[in-house]
Amino acid sequence: RKEVEQDPGPFNVPEGATVAFNCTYSNSASQSFFWYRQDCRKEPKLLMSVYSSGNEDGRFTAQLNRASQYISLLIRDSKLSDSATYLCVVNEDSGGGADGLTFGKGTHLIIQP
Amino acid sequence: DAGVTQSPTHLIKTRGQQVTLRCSPKSGHDTVSWYQQALGQGPQFIFQYYEEEERQRGNFPDRFSGHQFPNYSSELNVNALLLGDSALYLCASSDGPNSNQPQHFGDGTRLSIL
């Protein structure tokens, strides 16, 4: 069974602080990894892909540890607008094409002024 | 550059009825995936269409079916609706079915079953 596990939170963090989320996945055949952001009653939006070497996009840094099967997201200098649910997403390819994205339930982040 | 568009935005049905939801992919995308998101949960994969064929399917019953048209747009059909089918239905498109292609989501259709 494919599973992606996240701490649901909520994480209450003061503005300007650094916050980190982790996510674990069960299927070692997973091929691609993403972080999506979802605002309340809105659609998920791609935040960033996660590469094996780790990658950074402005204040956001993503890391992948294939051996331990976990993914992390670090947000530096957090802004009020970062308040959202962050979805860890894994994509598998069983050889016939992508098997569809497997989403975690999301981690709810609240940035406080 | 139009993003993913879905219609309708909201829909109310009763148990036993049938519903059809529609999706137009982002310009340049040829692959469409459908997801169901219940309240407080992450989206759950229903199925994916590419080259007008269902390529992959998640753990959903045969009451859920779909179609892709030559212009890459897609429909999701649900028959014999149950109360548990109430959810946000999301369509996502990508450039090809490969796993390394990120998917872009539409605003979703919020379906309520009475």
pLDDT tens per residue across span A26-49: 988 888 899 999 999 899 999 999
Q: What confidence tier does A94 reach under pLDDT thresholds 50, 70, 90?
A: low
Is the model's pLDDT at A93 over the cut of 70?
no
| Alpha carbon distance A14, A82 (integer Å) | 11
Nearest to A13 by CA among A21, A2, A23: A21
Predicted pLDDT at A29: 81
Predicted pLDDT at B20: 98
Residue A104 forms contact with B (CB below 8 Å): yes
Predicted pLDDT at A50: 93
* Three-class SS of A29-54: CEEEEEEEEECCCCCCEEEEEECCCC
Considering only CB atoms, B48 lies closest to which of A100, A105, A106, namely A100
Would you call A4 and B42 a contact, using CB atoms and an 8 Å cutoff?
A: yes
Instruction: Annotate B21-31 with b (16+ C-beta within 10 A) or e (fewer).
Output: bbbbbbeebbb
Q: Amino acid letter at B100?
A: N
Q: Amino acid letter at A101?
A: L
Q: Which H or E run contains A20?
A: strand A19-25
Predicted pLDDT at A1: 56
Would you call B50 and A101 a contact, using CB atoms and an 8 Å cutoff?
A: no
| Alpha carbon distance B113, B16 (integer Å) | 9
With contact defined as beta carbons under 8 Å apart, do A70 and A25 qualify?
yes
Q: Amino acid letter at B2?
A: A
Is the model's pLDDT at B7 over the cut of 80?
yes
Is the model's pLDDT at B99 over the cut of 80?
no
